[in-house]
Structure 1
Amino acid sequence: MESRLYQLGVFALYQLSVLLGIFLLPVALVARKVGVPLPLHRVLNRLEEAYDHATPN
């Protein structure tokens, strides 16, 4: 039960981070033009790895 709950929690966090990334895309594009990179890809990669590790193959 705990494992399934953990999987659902990680999946929800991953989906929320993708949604946040979509909403922040205009901000990221403006920041990039100014020269300030936003490291959202790091967050997505970590959550994706955590979800892949949590789900049985």
Structure 2
Amino acid sequence: MIHAMHRGVTFVLYQLTLMLGILMMPVALFTRRLGVTLPVNRLVDAAGTAYERASAGAHAQSN
């Protein structure tokens, strides 16, 4: 039960970081022209990795 809830929460957080990345794209493109890069891709990658680990842990426990 706890693992299913953990997986659900990490999925929601992953989706929110994807939405944030999409919404921040114009800002990121503008700041890149100024020579500054925003680490949004690292945030999305970290959230994706956390969700994959949560999913893999749930699959391992169900087998």
Same fold (TM over 0.5): yes
Q: TM-score range by the shorter chain?
A: over 0.9
SS of residue matched to 1:8: helix
Which residue of the partner structure matches residue 53 of structure 2?
53
Structure 1 runs of 4+ off > 2 angstroms? none
| Superposition RMSD in Å | 1.0
Quote how far apart the aligned CAs of 1:6 are: 0.3
Which residue of the partner structure matches residue 26 of structure 2?
26
Which residue of the partner structure matches residue 12 of structure 2?
12
| TM value normalised by structure 2 | 0.85
| TM value normalised by structure 1 | 0.94
| Structure 2 unmatched runs, 5+ | none
* Total equivalences in the alignment: 57
Which residue of the partner structure matches residue 3 of structure 2?
3
Counterpart CA distance in 2 for 1:2 and 1:37 is 37
Q: Which amino acid aligns with 1:31?
A: T
Quote how far apart the aligned CAs of 1:31 are: 0.3
Quote how far apart the aligned CAs of 1:8 are: 0.5
1:17-42, Cα deviation, whole Å (9 max, x unpaired): 00011111000000000011000111
| Structure 1 unmatched runs, 5+ | none
